[in-house]
Structure 1
Amino acid sequence: MSTTDIARAAGVARGLINHYFGTKRDLYLEVVRRMVTIPGPSPQVMSPGSLEDRIDRSVSWFLDRVLRHSKTWLVAVGGVGHDADVERILAEADELAADRVLEFVGLADVRDHREQLRAMIRAYGGMVKAAGREWLLGDHLNRDQVHVLLTSTLLTLVRDTFPKVTS
Structure 2
Amino acid sequence: MTVRQQIGDDVTAAPRRRRLEPDERREEILVCAMHLFGERPYAAVSTTELAARAGVARGLINHYFGTKRELYLEVVRRMVTIPRFAIEQLPEGPLETRIRAAVDWFLDGVARNSKTWLAATGAIGQDPEVEKILADADELAADRVLEAARLSAAAPELRAMVRSYGGMVKSAAREWLVRQDLTRNQVHLVLSTTLLSLIRDAAPGLREDGKPLP
Q: Same fold (TM over 0.5)?
A: yes
Alpha-carbon distance in 2 for matches of 1:95, 1:16? 32
User: How large is the RMSD of aligned CA atoms in angstroms?
Assistant: 1.8
Q: Which runs of 4+ in 1 moved over 6 A?
A: none
Q: Does the 8 Å CA contact 1:66/1:73 hold for their aligned counterparts?
A: yes
Which is higher, the Rg of structure 1 or of structure 2? 2
- Measured after TM superposition, the shift of residue 14 of structure 1 is 1.9
Residues 96-135 of structure 1 mapped to structure 2, 5 A cutoff: 96-107=140-151, 110=152, 113=155, 115-135=156-176
Q: Deviations over 1:37-70 (max 9, x none)?
A: 1222447842210001111111111111111111
Change (3 A) 1:11 1:123: same
1:158 — aligned with what?
Answer: 199
Q: What pairs with 1:1-150 in structure 2 (closer than 5 Å)?
A: 1-42=45-86, 45-79=89-123, 81-107=125-151, 110=152, 113=155, 115-150=156-191
* Cα drift, residue 36 of structure 1: 1.3
Contact between 1:45 and 1:54, CA under 8 Å: does it hold in 2?
no
Percent of paired sites with the same residue: 61
**Of the two structures, which has the highest relative contact order with CA contacts closer than 8 Å and spacing of 6 or more?**
1
Gapped runs of 5+ residues in structure 2?
A: 1-44
Distance 1:17 1:100 in 2: 31
Kept after mapping to 2: 8 A contact 1:32/1:89: yes
What is the CA–CA distance in structure 2 between the aligned matches of 1:17 and 1:135, rounded to whole Å?
34
| Gapped regions of structure 1 (runs ≥ 5) | none
